[in-house]
Amino acid sequence: MAMIYLNKTNTLPQMLRQQAEHNTLAIAIRQKEYGIWKPLNWGEYLERATHVGLGFKAVGLNEGAHVGVLSENRVEWVLSQLGAGLVGGVTVGVYPTSPTNEIAYVLAHADAEVVVCEDQEQTDKVLQALDQLPRLKKIVVMEKKGLAETRTQAGDLIISFVELEQLGAQSVDTSIVSNVLSHQQLDDTALVIYTSGSTGKPKGAMISYRNIAAMAQAMVERLELTSGTTHLSYLPLCHVAEQMFTTFAPVYLGSRVDFGESIRTVQEDLREVAPSMFLGVPRIWEKLHSAINIKIHEAGPIRRNFFDWGVSLCGKFAHKSAADQTFTERLIFWFFYILIFRALQNFIGLRKVTVALTGAAPISPSIVHFFRTLGVPLIEVYGMTESSGAVLGQRLGSVVSGTVGVPVVGVEYRLSDLGELQIRGDVVFKGYYKNPEATAATLVDGWLHTGDVVQEVQGELKIVDRLKDIMITAGGKNLTPSEIENTMKSSHFIKECVVVADARKFVSALIQIDFEAVSQWAESRNIAFTHFRSLTETPEVRALIDAQVQEGNAKLAEVSHVRRFHLLTKELDHDDGEVTATMKVRRVSIYKTYSTEIEAMYR
């Protein structure tokens, strides 16, 4: 496929204007409301974003000031982002699942002047933090339900999203946008994206328009995207991974993005939309893997046997692209595709996908192999907030199992003496907002120090672990916890595994079961339980997980074997500070919370 070269001299808002001028009637966005998909073409996208931007100016937003957005993915999210950009504002996304204290920290640290909230629930969180937000001038609320009551409490501080758009449409000075776009530069800050804060307070990474343009080109080249690519936006837009495919690439390419009804309807929306591209973090793929295993278990012995047979045969050439398969391999795959794989692809909504991605955290190679065996072209990519998205990625036609591929176009890399990956290029962020010390430690002579240790495997790169997470046992052996954890999580009965090994005589682990998979297993064996805790405390479940751990150990070096484990009696929770908003484990917090259980494993 010939490479598509994008116009990288324009900023994202300038590209929106260009798409509106050249592809006015082409569909840019579709949003599902009350079961109906409502389209928005590029001309309407620009018009509404302009009204939103002018509305921001009308309520007092200064050029260069920050607009917070606290919402699930929907058209108003991107209208707020592009609207802010059209008038010189900078967008700061906030996870809608975050508790008030985390929201207050991000909005206060970001000096937000306007905050756009999805509904009354999110608005109430901001109102509770008002004393920490001295620069806040206005709260804009998308949903009307409960708005009257909230307005009674907050007075003139609150305005609806509809009113904001109307205010912008009535603006007498429409030259504001053209003036801003005429002097907007690629090195201007477009977004401030806060890190997940797995090891401390979140840091605000400043992403420039140059970073965005370079990342858009990189994704188009590596994933072979075109203007005909379609994408379902559902992962949080305050994360750079979703930004790549909801705003960066689509605005430069002119491709379509679909917004489902809510995060809870993703599976149904996938089946309806059947996108050509799909991005899932490892937990999504683990859930889909578990759902397929449950469905196969319920299908009966004949179909189970055919499934196992198909997985066994097709798994032998799962790493090959369709073009590289032999005639016999293609024949075998098509036999099982018609017999069983097609139905499973329809079940998860990925039958028309031409490229599927996993990133943002490590994943077990066995999970990737499983989906490629079913005919889902799943590849691994690697990136971080500070790199504006994916900087390493497997090629569609050349997959080396267990690696994250090679650098994308425009990215240089080198390895330090400790094996740390360091990268350079236009994708590298500007620095951390109001944190020069952290910036200086991360950006050295133009090189971004990622903090990740990598190895070269068959000319491609494999992520070993975070440099700070590598553990040394009491016997002096170096261990990579993510390898052990992902090996255990390849079992669809295990949702989370947190390894304990640093300065210890042997490896132990805190394990959280996958409630759906284990409860289905228990019910099929008439094992009585009433809730999560009672299920984990049954001897049969303990024996089940022990068998899964032993199976995982067989795939690991002996020094990495999990000798003992403790079954968690509750799910790890964001509100309890055990995981971040992106479900990354906060090791220090978990080790502290479960210190008694950990010590008991070493007695």
SS in 3 state form for 409-437? CCEEEEECCCCEEEEEECCCCCEECCCHH
In a domain, 63, yes or no: yes
In a domain, 5, yes or no: no
Residue 491 CA, distance from chain mean position: 22
The set of long-range contacts for 14-18, using a CB threshold of 8 Å and a minimum separation of 24, is: 14/181, 14/184, 15/251, 15/252, 16/42, 16/45, 16/46, 16/49, 16/82, 16/86, 16/251, 17/46, 17/181
For residue 440, the SS3 value is: helix
**What total of structural domains would you count in the chain?**
3
Question: What pLDDT, on the 0 to 100 scale, is given for residue 197?
Answer: 67
- Same domain flag for 523 and 379: no
- Same domain flag for 315 and 458: yes
Encoding tokens for residue 124? 């109430």
In a domain, 274, yes or no: no
- Same domain flag for 443 and 498: no
- Same domain flag for 185 and 123: yes
- Same domain flag for 455 and 478: no
506: number of Cβ within 10 Å: 16
Domain containing residue 140: 12-208
In a domain, 61, yes or no: yes
- Nearest Cα neighbor of 486 from 420, 556, 577 is 556
In a domain, 255, yes or no: no
User: pLDDT digit string (tens) for 134-177?
Assistant: 999 999 999 988 777 766 666 789 999 999 999 999 987 879 99
pTM of the model: 0.84
Final residue belonging to a domain, choices 208, 224, 254 = 208
- Same domain flag for 38 and 152: yes
Question: What pLDDT, on the 0 to 100 scale, is given for residue 177?
Answer: 95
Q: Locate tokens 């132990």: which residue?
A: 508
Q: Whole-number mean pLDDT of the chain?
A: 91
- Same domain flag for 23 and 36: yes
For residue 6, the SS3 value is: coil
CA distance 304 to 296: 6
In a domain, 235, yes or no: no
Percent of the chain with pLDDT over 90: 70
Q: Locate tokens 């590598």: which residue?
A: 470
Final residue belonging to a domain, choices 208, 232, 265 = 208
In a domain, 268, yes or no: no
Higher pLDDT, 340 or 401: 340
- Same domain flag for 501 and 539: yes
pLDDT band at 199 (very low <50, low <70, confident <90, very high): low
CA distance 238 to 217: 21
User: pLDDT digit string (tens) for 13-61?
Assistant: 999 999 999 999 999 999 988 888 999 999 999 999 999 999 999 999 9
Final residue belonging to a domain, choices 427, 445, 466 = 466
Q: Locate tokens 């090994």: which residue?
A: 501
Question: What pLDDT, on the 0 to 100 scale, is given for residue 232?
Answer: 95
- Same domain flag for 482 and 453: no
- Nearest Cα neighbor of 409 from 430, 392, 434 is 392
CA distance 230 to 27: 11
Q: What is the CATH number of the domain that holds 486?
A: 3.30.300.30
> Could you tell me if 514 and 493 are in contact, meaning their C-beta atoms sit under 8 angstroms apart?
yes
- Same domain flag for 335 and 415: yes
User: Strand 138-141's sheet: what is its strand order?
Assistant: 158-160, 138-141, 112-117, 66-70, 90-94, 189-194, 204-208, 431-432
User: pLDDT digit string (tens) for 400-414?
Assistant: 888 899 999 999 999
- Same domain flag for 359 and 385: yes
Segment of 289-298, 305-314, 476-485 carrying the highest mean pLDDT: 305-314
Q: What is the CATH number of the domain that holds 99?
A: 3.40.50.12780
CA distance 228 to 247: 15
Q: Who contacts 278 (Cβ-Cβ below 8 Å, separation ≥6)?
A: 231, 232, 270, 350, 353, 355, 356, 357
Secondary structure of 156-175 in HEC code, one letter for each residue: HHEEEHHHHHHHHHCCCCCH
In a domain, 227, yes or no: no
- Same domain flag for 427 and 511: no
Higher pLDDT, 171 or 110: 110
